[in-house]
Structure 1
Amino acid sequence: MGGRGDGQCPGGMVAAVRKYGSSVLLLLVGIAVLRVSLFGDLYLRYVQAGLRPYLIASGGLLALLGLVRSALTARTGWEDSRDADVHGRQDHCHAHTGAPRVAWLLTLPAVALLWFPPPALGSYSAAREEAARAEKFVVTFPALPAGDPVELSLAEFGSRAAYDSGYSLRDRTVRLTGFVTRDDDGTWYVTRLRVACCAADATAVKAEVRGVRAPEADTWVTVTGTWHPSGRLGSAAAWPPVLDATDARPIAEPADPYEER
């Protein structure tokens, strides 16, 4: 009972796990991609909204490939076992149990993505981004909309502060949204990451905040204040722009944490 003549390979469970390993990996990755792209807004941490259909299609295709491969593997195994004698079965089992167990570590990234999706890029990524500005970009910008405070992206605020020869930010109250980053000397910034395609090409935009106490790093805030001119337009001294703040209100992280380029 339970010997070699019962139609099972010695160590059959281990053999089965190794035999279906690639199928399970495809299925796990497909399900993980579908989870972040199909069931919520998690995909916005990694790519632009317009790429969602491609993520869904990719996840569905990977999951389907995993299922098809499992079915083909099961069919091949059934056909082999039906025709093999005991000696042949032992050779067959021996031939299919040599895969190294360490290969199963490849499933860990897929499982991690499925159960513990990483957060959006934060202060560490922004701190590594070097700002480079040149005087040749100094131009006159269109007038801002009437009424204060005016809601601006950090990219637009920074561009107007550093390059607008018409000084459209002067005497205007603005509202900026981003997460908190800090320097070692205590200076803090409201920061946002911009993406053209996905998180891999993210670049940082930020504004120094003065006049209010800094929240914890990576806290999302909406900051209200007025532009504090510093440095000659287009020069390194004009970047990052400075905001004299009157209020910094913590908020929940937006569903889409990035600004588009």
Structure 2
Amino acid sequence: MVAARHDRPAPRLAARPPRHRAAALPAARARLLQRGREDARRAAQGVGTFPPLPSGDPVDLSVAAFTSRAVYDSDRSLKGRTVRLTGFVTHGDDGAWYITRLLVSCCAADATTSKVELRGADAPATDAWVTVTGIWRPKGRLGSSAAWPPLLDAKEVRGVEEPSNPYEQR
């Protein structure tokens, strides 16, 4: 075993920050960050363009995809469409209830929530996993805080098992 020498200081490594922070990140992570900035810019403008929804009803969407379209889609692609969402139940202080999912970019530590307020159906127990089929009810001005959280008129609420991966990916 070699003993550490304490009679001279450890060599200092020249630490020079990269010229651009994204240059220090792997390319895939840099693309994710750029996409997030673009999404935030669109959201701040209150506009958004989304690819067309598939034909036929109901349309299966993630909670995050539904909320993005409901709040930011200038083409209002959800109007008149029946959608199906899966998530867990949360309750508001005012008696409202929501279908909720955790949305992750990297790992569970950075998770944020996406939620949709449900109307027209009795609320299941908190934390119960459900699949809800319903029709979007527009509210508030596009891109405004009044449009959040989006509303869904529930036509059917069915209890389901928690998915093997309960997180939605950004």
The answer to whether residue 94 in structure 2 is matched with residue 181 in structure 1 is no
The answer to whether residue 67 in structure 2 is matched with residue 158 in structure 1 is yes
Given the alignment, which residue of 107, 117, 140 partners 1:198? 107
Q: Larger C-alpha radius of gyration, 1 or 2?
A: 1
Contact 2:46 2:144 (8 Å CA) reproduced = no
CA distance in 2, matches of 1:135, 1:199: 26
Unmatched segments (≥5 aa) in structure 2: 1-41
CA distance in 2, matches of 1:170, 1:192: 22
SS at the partner of 2:132?
A: strand
Cα shift at 1:135 = 4.0
Given the alignment, which residue of 48, 53, 58 partners 1:149? 58
> What is the aligned-residue RMSD (CA, Å)?
1.2
Question: In structure 2, what is the equivalent of residue 207 of structure 1?
Answer: 116
Moved over 4 A (4+): none
% same residue: 66
Unmatched segments (≥5 aa) in structure 1: 1-132
Question: In structure 1, what is the equivalent of residue 3 of structure 2?
Answer: none
CA distance in 2, matches of 1:135, 1:247: 34
Cα shift at 1:140 = 2.4
CA distance in 2, matches of 1:145, 1:201: 30
Deviations 1:21-64 (A, max 9, x none): xxxxxxxxxxxxxxxxxxxxxxxxxxxxxxxxxxxxxxxxxxxx
Question: In structure 1, what is the equivalent of residue 13 of structure 2?
Answer: none
Cα shift at 1:137 = 4.5
The count of corresponding residues between Structure 1 and Structure 2 is 129
Question: In structure 2, what is the equivalent of residue 258 of structure 1?
Answer: 167
CA distance in 2, matches of 1:178, 1:135: 27
Contact 1:135 1:233 (8 Å CA) reproduced = no
Given the alignment, which residue of 242, 245, 248 partners 2:151? 242
SS at the partner of 2:49?
A: coil
Cα shift at 1:227 = 0.3
**Matches for 1:70-219 after TM superposition, within 5 Å:** 134-219=43-128
Greater strand proportion: 2
The answer to whether residue 138 in structure 2 is matched with residue 232 in structure 1 is no
CA distance in 2, matches of 1:259, 1:167: 23
TM-score by length of 2: 0.73
